[in-house]
Structure 1
Amino acid sequence: MSVLLEFSMFPTSDDCRNGSSVSAQVSKIIDAIDKSGVSYQLTPMGTVVETDTMKEALAIIELAYEQLSDCERVYSSLKFDIRKNTKNRLKTKIASIENVLNREVNH
């Protein structure tokens, strides 16, 4: 099974922000994900991780929140794409689109 989880998480309270920037706090989350060994891709608007189970995906959310647990208020948005009998969709979904685009350009 492949669980793709796209999420964003950041503090909204002044106690954990540097003006309007939350990059220091988001960096803590990305560092923790990187150290966890889970496959991930950072995007300008969030992070996509791929796990084998929903339990592992939810553990990543808990890990991310732990990095901000000292903040008064935290915002988070989550999206899941769960598919059985497949893996490595962080790369294969993109490759599939690039393959279609390449065929269209070459025809």
Structure 2
Amino acid sequence: MSTSRDRDDFTYEQQNDRRLDELHSKIRSLRSVTTDIYDEAERGNTHLDETINTFASFRTSLSQSANRAARALGLRSNISQFRMILYVVGAIVLLWVLWKIFAWFWWRVPAH
């Protein structure tokens, strides 16, 4: 009777050991995935910081360029800068419209 019980105990012990090994394997996999996620988040944060620094540098450079252009054109107030921007945008739109009209007349196929 004791040998049957010993065999059952041994079988249960083996099953427990297998399940424990499976659990350790799952924990290692989970740890690996967690580490990969952490590393990717760190790389993303580093990339985001670099992007923020690049845009801040661009903003500063653009602001300095706008100030130099305003001084060169003799523009001192924001209203004058706004007016100059409107003139430039209007000129671009006008040139685009003229180009479309010219292209329409130039490429128009005469009817036979």
TM class, shorter-length = under 0.3
Richer in helix (by share)? 2
Q: Which has the higher contact order (CA 8 A, sep 6+)?
A: 1
TM-score of the pair, normalised by structure 1: 0.23
Richer in strand (by share)? 1
